[in-house]
Amino acid sequence: MAEVNEEILEQYLKVVKKWFYISDIPFSVPHNYSNIDVLGYDPSNECYYDFEVKFRSAFSLTNDGKSVRYLVDQFEKYRDQREAKIKEFVGDKKVIKVVVTTKKMFGISDHKRNSMEATFIAMMDELSYQSDIWYFDDLIPELVEHVEVKGRYNTQLLQTIRMLKMYQ
């Protein structure tokens, strides 16, 4: 079972975006395992997405480059192993790397967040990754909007949203 933050992303991809996804794809790393949180596919543009979920409700990264490097390392640290595992699913197709986090983690102020985003994108570009940043702050309201009070939902998350909307 996915952790709730990954479940939010999965349901967003399915309900809002109408994408396909595979979650929690493990791969071997020296002396342990790591995983791809979510691998998504957008059929409308035939594009694949490698999602790394980092939800921090009360934590904000410092704007010193080291904190952003931590996010980059989520994709880079075990690049060969991660890319080999992705290749098993998508072959040689291009994959966009996406960090899904909170706006607070990147900075409450637009200025700090924009600076952090630019640093992240630049670091990823240097490593020849096409990348993006998605925010739970945007995903969650959009997901809630797509859940109907009278719909049929097969996940605890969507059933909970439906119930909360019913008693709102």
Domain map of the chain by residue range? 4-166
> What stretch of H or E contains 23?
strand 20-29
pLDDT in tens, 61-91: 877 778 889 889 989 999 999 999 999 999 9
Which range scores top for mean pLDDT: 116-120, 139-143, 164-168?
139-143
Q: How far apart are CA 72 and CA 117, in angstroms?
A: 11
pLDDT given for residue 43 in this prediction:
96
Say which residue, 36 or 62, is predicted with more confidence.
36
Just give the CATH number of 4-166. Answer: 3.40.1350.10
pLDDT given for residue 70 in this prediction:
87
pLDDT given for residue 58 in this prediction:
64
Strands 131-135 and 20-29: unpaired
pLDDT given for residue 152 in this prediction:
87
The pLDDT of residue 107 is above 60? yes
pTM of the model: 0.92
